[in-house]
Amino acid sequence: MTIGILGGGQLGYMLALAGYPLNFHFRFLDPSPQAPVGRIAPRVTAEYTDFEALEKFASGLALVTYEFENVPAEAVRFLQKRLPVYPSPQALETAQDRRSEKKLFQKLGIPTTEFLAVTGPDELDQAVRELGLPAIVKTSRFGYDGKGQWLLRTHEDLTRLAQEIPATPLVVEKFVHFSRELSILAVRARNGKTAFYPLVENRHREGILRFSLAPAPRTAAALQPEAEQAALRVLEALDYVGVLAIELFECEGRLLANEMAPRVHNSGHWSIEGAVTSQFENHLRAVAGLPLGDTSTMGHSAMLNLIGELPDSSELLAVPDAHLHIYGKALRPGRKVGHVTLRADSAEHLATRLGQLPRFFHRPEFCLNPNLAQSAKSL
């Protein structure tokens, strides 16, 4: 079976690596001739809205899925007339727009951050007065890794940022003083069966995910079912097929949904080595109509994102149960170019292993500094 994937970045790359042992073949479509999947799979280099290229791309495929959520909905709808597309275009469109995403959360009774949707910067002043400060302004569409977001601490910030905030629909959110960020990854098969990974703790810097711990340490027993219930409602409301990620804030012991991604997710990379079935394999099983795999963890994992630069492989791989993934992208500041998963049988061993990582990883975002005792405690 050949599966078509829209988007040829690292998520597509890892999907293909998970799919080859199951005898799947892949064909990718991505506008960039440098897309990482070029190393391992046939690729059509074309704009997503090049319908002639889409027609060629679709020929002979069993189904199409995507690894990039900003694929234009019209491309996905065009393909859906020719072959099955999972997750559905409806799921994609809902997740592409923060307004519809948040409205869906509200409709399903899933607590979310307090927000107001505005049609452009002219309405910001009024919205900020209603919501209060501090607040975060986000473009409704096409934001990622903290891009398209502005923190407003004072009314003067609004004047200062007036030139920067684009004339486009926006969402203004009340700033949440969360205790930590979590995410839940869920998967739904074509026959409606579902499975859930354990809550993961995520640490961001400059809007980019840097570090994940799976399972999330010190998690109150009630949070996992609460997160699963929320994810289940979304999966069922959208008749969803595939992996769905929901990013959450933990706030005074409750969960607030921040946003969702209709695809495999960076906070699930640990599952390649740290779960019985990885998120990538489970996404493929779901879209291909196969039974879902076991989502249980195997020990404790930490995932460290490599942003813009790579460590020395031999130093890193000297650490027991350290796993290196390099995506084959050009190194540029702020760009996700690889990740490391560190696995151990217990949280204590994981803390020890984190302390054994080479100097490259001794950065605040990886919680290894100022001292290991602190990082061990945080596990």
**Residue 141 CB, nearest distance to ligand AMP (Å)?**
12
Q: Which is nearer to ligand AMP, 175 or 360 (CB)?
A: 175
Burial 88-110 (b: 16+ CB within 10 A, else e): bbbbbbbbbbbbbbbebbeebeb
**Residue 87 CB, nearest distance to ligand AMP (Å)?**
19
133 touches ligand AMP (CB under 6 A):
no
Site for ligand AMP (CB under 6 A): how many residues?
Answer: 13
Q: Which is nearer to ligand AMP, 141 or 204 (CB)?
A: 204
**Residue 354 CB, nearest distance to ligand AMP (Å)?**
21
Q: Which is nearer to ligand AMP, 24 or 178 (CB)?
A: 178
Q: Which is nearer to ligand AMP, 38 or 134 (CB)?
A: 134
Amino acid identity for residue 344 in this structure: A
**Residue 202 CB, nearest distance to ligand AMP (Å)?**
7
**Residue 177 CB, nearest distance to ligand AMP (Å)?**
7
Which residues inside 311-350 make contact with ligand AMP, applying CB under 6 A? none
Q: Which is nearer to ligand AMP, 260 or 342 (CB)?
A: 260
**Residue 273 CB, nearest distance to ligand AMP (Å)?**
24
Whether the ω angle into residue 134 lies within 30 degrees of 0, i.e. cis, is: yes
Q: Which is nearer to ligand AMP, 113 or 341 (CB)?
A: 113
Q: Which is nearer to ligand AMP, 40 or 176 (CB)?
A: 176
247 touches ligand AMP (CB under 6 A):
yes
Three-state helix/strand/coil letters over the chain: CEEEEECCCHHHHHHHHHHHHHCCEEEEEECCCCCHHHHCCCEEECCCCCHHHHHHHHCCCCEEEECCCCCCHHHHHHHHCCCCECCCHHHHHHHHEHHHHHHHHHHCCCCECCEEEECCHHHHHHHHHHHCCCEEEEECECCCCCCCEEEECCHHHHHHCCCCCCCCCEEEEECCCCCEEEEEEEEECCCCCEEECCCEEEEEECCEEEEEEECCCCCCCCHHHHHHHHHHHHHHHCCCCEEEEEEEEEECCEEEEEEEECCCCHHHCCHHHHECCCHHHHHHHHHHCCCCCCCCECCEEEEEEEECCCCCHHHHHCCCCEEEEECCCCCCCCCEEEEEEEEECCHHHHHHHHHHCCHHHCCHHHCCCCCHHHHHHHC
Selected binder of ligand AMP within 38, 111, 146, 328 (CB under 6 A) = 146
Selected binder of ligand AMP within 113, 139, 277, 305 (CB under 6 A) = 113
251 touches ligand AMP (CB under 6 A):
no
Which residues inside 161-190 make contact with ligand AMP, applying CB under 6 A? 173, 175-176, 181
212 touches ligand AMP (CB under 6 A):
no
Selected binder of ligand AMP within 258, 279, 282, 341 (CB under 6 A) = 258
204 touches ligand AMP (CB under 6 A):
yes
Query: The tokens of 321 are what?
Result: 């149960």
- Nearest to 141, CA basis, from 70, 247, 208: 70
Q: Which is nearer to ligand AMP, 204 or 335 (CB)?
A: 204
31 touches ligand AMP (CB under 6 A):
no
143 touches ligand AMP (CB under 6 A):
yes
Cβ neighbours around 78 below 10 Å, total: 18
136 touches ligand AMP (CB under 6 A):
yes
Selected binder of ligand AMP within 42, 60, 192, 207 (CB under 6 A) = 207
Which residues contact ligand AMP (rule: CB under 6 A)?
Answer: 113, 136, 143, 146, 173, 175-176, 181, 204, 207, 247, 258-259
